[in-house]
Structure 1
């Protein structure tokens, strides 16, 4: 399955448009649960160990799970770095990688990241922004760590696309109820 993912574009214009095309009407723990499980199932099917993390900008974790055994504790550091990058710059980490041609040193130098900040951020793909209609800026991040950056980006995009297809036309039971 992971081998069949198309290589993601490196066009900043196309990546920015892709990110905004996934703007949610709202984003709750239900969204995170479904997207997280889509990711986990896809990664398990592909026999790909990774950590999946979905959280809000407030640092509230909505979903966090390994896809399968085999992850090293250091992978948690990559989750934190990818999340921090998405929240600071409002773009996917693949967008940031594409902006700097995958050159982590150029990324660090361009933003003047000191020694302490170098360890906080990364331009390795796999971090993805969550946007909500009517809210300025990023409201959360979807992160996959443990895979190559292009593959991690592709898996997240595919999962969000699948989620959109599942939700198309779906009405929440709470919305369907009428108040008398």
Structure 2
């Protein structure tokens, strides 16, 4: 009796997926580990991001209701501590190739309200060395609560 053979294309797909996940995780781990965080750094970082967002907000295809997407992407980052691009890649690889990543996210994590999470790229975790995760999350939540008014 011969041993079963594995389709080489499946092995290649698995290796590509593993490589992509490692690359995304490394990007998250190295790109966002700030050595310190204070008011000056927060202001400088916010100014850079604001400038980038202003440039992208004025591009064709952007709309004021895009903030709903931002909140949903933030939900993924806060819930699972990973970028939405990484979550999307995981969801795409975890189900049938005919299942969209967002549907896979709902099924895989038993999400009943799809207005809370979006795995479409653009959300990225920010980590600060030696600062409690809760401080950052609480600060972001307070800021968001105040801008919704």
TM-score category (smaller protein):
0.5 to 0.7
RMSD (Å), alpha carbons: 2.9
Give TM-score scaled by structure 1 length. 0.51
1:17 and 1:137 map into 2 onto residues whose CA distance is 19
Are the counterparts in 2 of residues 90 and 137 from structure 1 also a CA contact under 8 Å? no
2:89 pairs with one of 82, 86, 98: 98
From 36, 56, 61, the equivalent of 2:46 is 36
How many Å separate the matches in 2 of 1:77 and 1:23?
27
Mapping of residues 22-101 of structure 1, within 5 Å: 22-42=32-52, 47-49=55-57, 71-101=62-92
Structure 2 segments unaligned to the other structure (5+ residues): 1-18, 93-99, 141-149
Q: Which has the larger radius of gyration?
A: 2
Q: CA deviation at 1:37?
A: 2.5
TM-score by length of 2: 0.61
Size of the aligned set, in residue pairs, is: 111
Partner of 2:115: 119
Give the drift of 1:125: 0.6
Report what 1:19 is aligned to. Answer: 28
When you count helix as a share of all residues, which structure comes out higher?
A: 2
The structure with the largest strand share of the pair is: 1
Aligned position for 2:105: 107
